[in-house]
Amino acid sequence: MLSYEESLKILKETKALIDGHFILSSGLHSPKYVQCAQLLSKPKEASKICISLAEKIKSSFNDFDLILSPAMGGIIIGYDIGRILNKETIFSERVDGKFKLRRDFTIKKNNKVLIIEDVITTGKSSLECSELVNNAGARIIGYACIIDRSKGESAIKEKIISQIKLDIPVYAKDNLPKSLSLIEAVKPGSRNL
């Protein structure tokens, strides 16, 4: 398994973790931004992270049937973890603002489902996926992600397995530290389109 330091080095080298002044999808401001798409665009480095995360998942959740990931951020990670652990992998997509299963994907009653995505902060996407699992009469066995930014404050009450936990500060627009207020803010998030 990769250490915290090895994982952090890969995230920085692939520009999946960058410095600047960012407006997050929550509206809060931060001096760091996580963009796992940059990591995933470099398969050799992403594979190291996914193999390590798969080892952690295997040691925590040894019995499950299906991986469910939210689009877009979780699709590649879910697929790669599914490939490594030999598990069926599906994804949900937003339709009229709500996650739905499309493409003839189904969750069978009593399936044991692991929800995987790239980054968990508030847990919003993962919890929306949970509704799909519950509505199918299946059972959530847990959650996993590459980066856990939740600081233990997400709406997810179950254990989150992550490759790395990052404590990234966030600030309200009217309470920015001077160093951050001197840098022009950028709004890079996927929910801002």
- Domain 4-192: give its CATH code: 3.40.50.2020
pLDDT tier for residue 193 given thresholds of 50, 70 and 90 = very low
The β-bridge relationship of strands 17-23 and 29-34 is: antiparallel
Report the residue count for the chain: 193
Whose structure tokens read 């937003």?
Answer: 94
pLDDT in tens, 157-185: 888 999 999 999 989 998 999 989 889 98
How far is 51 from 48, CA to CA, in rounded Å? 5
Query: Any residues with CB less than 8 A from the CB of 39 and at least 6 apart, and which?
Result: 10, 11, 14, 16, 45, 46, 49, 146
pLDDT of 1 > 50? The answer is: yes
Q: Which of 59, 143, 128 is nearest to 96 (CA)?
A: 128
pLDDT tier for residue 156 given thresholds of 50, 70 and 90 = confident
pLDDT at site 31: 94
pLDDT of 7 > 60? The answer is: yes
- Record the pTM: 0.87
pLDDT at site 27: 84
pLDDT of 72 > 90? The answer is: no
pLDDT in tens, 81-119: 999 999 999 999 999 989 999 999 999 999 999 999 998
